Structure 1
């Protein structure tokens, strides 16, 4: 039952600060992914926790990508991505694909499968979603990429890597 309260936030209350927002978002557990691309604009990859399903008709997910990322132009230019959900033992992959690590060095970590027309899939990932980018929306510093899932590699791995409270955690079934 929803009850009404008489106290309401004042209309003049300031918006949440960037630090308040970051602290709040750190309390939302998120699966860790490596998003890759390959094509005529080159290859690239980045760590992402902002990945979410949208609909199953057609199968579509969203991925948030910082426009200042070294992977941005290549990813958008190629128009395809592979979203690799990391297994619990792949924490070093997330670190390698985050930040300032040079692109060729990122792909020296792990073993990759490349299939024509698709972006690189990480061997040992819990699953890989091969997608084409079908749209995007700009919000603040990021683009929200709408990605239609064309193929799924489900490797039946029972663990995944989570990021919560600014630390990695393992989740197993």
Structure 2
């Protein structure tokens, strides 16, 4: 990598750290065991049909299970779930659920008390550099009333309304 490429990459990393993003855990299931990983690159894609996109590291074990099953769950985390987000951000698969309660919802692992839940069927997997973008058709969606967990400046936090 040239100095210029390294400089752009370092600057890009700093710029992206300044963008507040939602924190979610993407889940899949294999052999009756839950797998999951924390992601901050997730967004709504389409309303008709309802679709989302989520970006997963190419080396993700959860991504491999999503490829095989064609399905994934998206647990949109609340402000009270920072420790869970950190636990699921580690490398490795099934062991991440040790100590974390989960239920099956639409045959996918769902973490209770998460403010948002989406069950998705993969519409497409698209290469994106060192990540893969999973495009998902939303089969089920549920929202509870809770403050969201966001990631900004390499720290977890939450959203606070602006006083006008």
Q: Where does structure 1 lack aligned partners over 5 or more consecutive residues?
A: 1-13
For residue 103 of structure 1, report the CA deviation from its aligned partner. 2.6
Larger helix fraction of residues? 2
Correspondence for 2:100 among 110, 114, 117: 110
Correspondence for 1:154 among 132, 135, 143: 143
Q: Where does structure 2 lack aligned partners over 5 or more consecutive residues?
A: none
Q: Counterparts in 2 of 1:8-157, with a 5 A limit?
A: 17-39=8-30, 43-100=34-91, 102-115=92-105, 117-157=106-146
Other structure's SS at 1:123 match: coil
For residue 105 of structure 1, report the CA deviation from its aligned partner. 2.6
For residue 133 of structure 1, report the CA deviation from its aligned partner. 0.7
Q: Deviations over 1:11-50 (max 9, x none)?
A: xxx5662211111100100010011011459642100010
- With normalisation by structure 1, the TM-score equals 0.83
Question: What is the Cα-based RMSD across aligned positions, in Å?
Answer: 1.9
Aligned residues: 157
- With normalisation by structure 2, the TM-score equals 0.87
| Matches of 2:142 and 2:135, distance apart in 1 | 19
Q: Which structure has the greater CA radius of gyration?
A: 1
